[in-house]
Structure 1
Amino acid sequence: MAISGPSPFLRYGVRIANEAHTSLDEAAETLGLLGYAVVDSGLDADQLEALRARFNAIHAANHASTDVERLRAIGEVDLLRCPLADDPLFLALASNPRILELCERLMGAGFILNQQNGIVNPAGAKTYSQSAYHRDLPYQHFVSTRPLAINALFCLDPFTLDNGATFVIPASHKQEAFPSDPVIAAQAKQIAAPAGSFLVLDCMVYHCGGTNRSAADRRAVNHVYTIAMMRQQIDLPAYLGDDFSTDPKIRQLLGFNHPTARSVEEFISQRKAK
């Protein structure tokens, strides 16, 4: 929580200090320092319950219409790809104003939604699709002075130590290499978060899902927002169709304003249009 009034923390020799006047100020600073923060979505109990119901319905419909064993073979059985294409509630979730404001602070204007995926951490499972440590920009080993991508994992259910809350390796977005085993053992932290909140990560911080030892599945909806030059996981403008939305802010978010030119002539035409 942001502190108002004089600081309770004595210091000397300090000429420059950050100030946090709001919870988003605090989240932005914590993300830069540690690579993660928990942010309240502002959604109420009824909105949260509606998202849960639609998540379950879409997940069940997908399993009914798809070869589940095929999904299991490629590690997709616990994932729900791009639910915003199936229900406007998930488009509203992807355009949550608090998360968009935070992304703009960290990456600047013009960022896009790279992907939205529902994730199920099954009850009583030892492993699932997200159980190995990874970055959300996988196979990349570099550091940058500001984030190129932000992960906002929405907690449909509470994230608890018992049901497999996410583990993070704090500040691992600041070094190129994956940390050593002793450092992981000493520094990894499991992040409990209430239902209706976002666990927000710098996409270069190493993290993984924990083991769900509870009797109920733990559900979440992951969002990755990136600078516009990064390729989307699914080409959302092509998948959704040009008439999906006329809202200029939604079109920007979903990447309609940043098409990949398919020829030199198309590239030149796009430049002229700007």
Structure 2
Amino acid sequence: MNTTHSDVPRRYGVLEQAQSSNDVEWTCESIRQLGYGVIDGGYSREWLAELAGAFDRVQENYRSRNGGVDALTSIDEHNTVRLPLAHDPLFLELAANEKILNICSRLISGYSVLNQQNGIINPPNGSQYNQGSWHRDLPYQHFVSSRPLAINALFCLDAFTIENGATKVLPASHRQEAFPSDSFVSTQALPVAAPAGTFIVLDCMVFHCGGVNTTATPRRAVNHVYSIPLLRQQIDLPSALGDDFTRDSKLRRLLGYDALQPRSIAEYLAGRMTKS
């Protein structure tokens, strides 16, 4: 972000200041301070159109493979598409976005793995859906950490607007253990409007929820959670994808192939020997 002399805030008594010279650094600073930020994914309009087509195809096939809309509705899974990267390489490309991985490397100690990837549909006409309740993306946890344990990168396949249910956040709630009071939530929640092709990036401990989509069109997004290897993946990706899914060493680490749980003492000791 470029600033002119007139843009520099007046201050006194300041001896230290954080520095942010590009969009990745600015987003990291925003996440540290507020728990969320927005960054452009760097994709062309043509690529976004291709991904939108892939999303719709994967969604239709996903429903067919898993018993149809009624079966998924009965378990409140009809507005979610689990692990789309297993069915179209565009979603693997999306999960490996250079800016997002750069943010993760700056905020998460060590290296991160892809904990989950889900297509998310915010249904039209004011319908309720399972992401419309306040939550953390590490749910049921009431603690804070000096550094993020996981980062949420919500890709806006469609523009996020107030009318179609832009994600709402409680700024800086990743710094507090308890969920805020109802009066605080009602007065301090902020909707995050964002253009198509951008990521809304969150510390996974910040409380957030989907807004109500009052338009006649579903709003599509692809959510990613990148976590420290210690945290269990939502779906065991190496098992789900198979050992031959990719031979690229960076992608294998991202997908969790380097963080497999030893199945025996012998495997554990063999892993120790490899690292020594």
Is residue 38 of structure 2 the alignment partner of residue 43 of structure 1?
no
Q: Distance in 2 between matches of 1:136 and 1:93?
A: 19
3-state SS in 2 of match to 1:128: coil
Per the alignment, in what secondary structure is the counterpart of residue 257 of structure 1?
helix
Shift of 1:271: 1.0
Q: Which residue of 2 aligns with 1:97?
A: 98
The share of aligned pairs that are identical, in percent, is 51
Counterpart code for 2:144: V
What's the CA shift for 1:2? Answer: 4.7
Query: Does the CA contact (< 8 Å) of 2:169 and 2:189 recur in 1?
Result: yes
Alignment of 1:195-234 (within 5 A): 195-234=196-235
1:20 corresponds to 2:20: yes
Give 1:19 shift.
1.3
1:65 counterpart residue number: 65
- Counterparts of 2:268 and 2:51, CA distance in 1: 40
TM-score by length of 2: 0.97
Q: What TM-score do you get using the length of structure 1 for normalisation? A: 0.97
- Cα-to-partner distance string for 1:60-102 (whole Å, 9 max, x where unaligned): 1122233222211211000000000001100000000000000
Q: 1:126 offset after TM fit, Å? A: 3.0
Map of 1:30 onto structure 2: 30
Report the alpha carbon displacement of residue 7 of structure 1 after superposing the two structures with TM.
5.8
The 10-residue stretch of structure 1 (46-55 or 119-128) with the greater mean CA deviation from structure 2: 119-128
1:4 CA drift (Å): 6.3
In the TM superposition, 1:229-268 aligns within 5 A as 229-268=230-269
Contact 1:114–1:225 (CA under 8 A) maintained in structure 2: yes
Contact 2:165–2:212 (CA under 8 A) maintained in structure 1: yes
Contact 2:63/2:72 (<8 A) preserved: no
Which residue is 1:78 aligned to? 79
Measured at CA, do residues 111 and 2 of structure 1 come closer, stay the same or move farther in structure 2, by a change above 3 Å?
farther
Gaps (5+ residues) in structure 2?
Answer: none
CA contact (8 A) 1:4 1:21 kept: no
Opposite residue 121 of structure 1, the aligned amino acid is N
Distance in 1 between residues matched to 2:17 and 2:95, nearest whole Å: 33
Q: 1-side partners of 2:109 and 2:45: how far apart?
A: 31
**Any conservation in 2 of the 1:2–1:26 contact (CA below 8 Å)?**
no
Amino acid at match of 1:256: Y
Q: State the Cα distance separating 1:41 from its structure 2 match.
A: 0.2
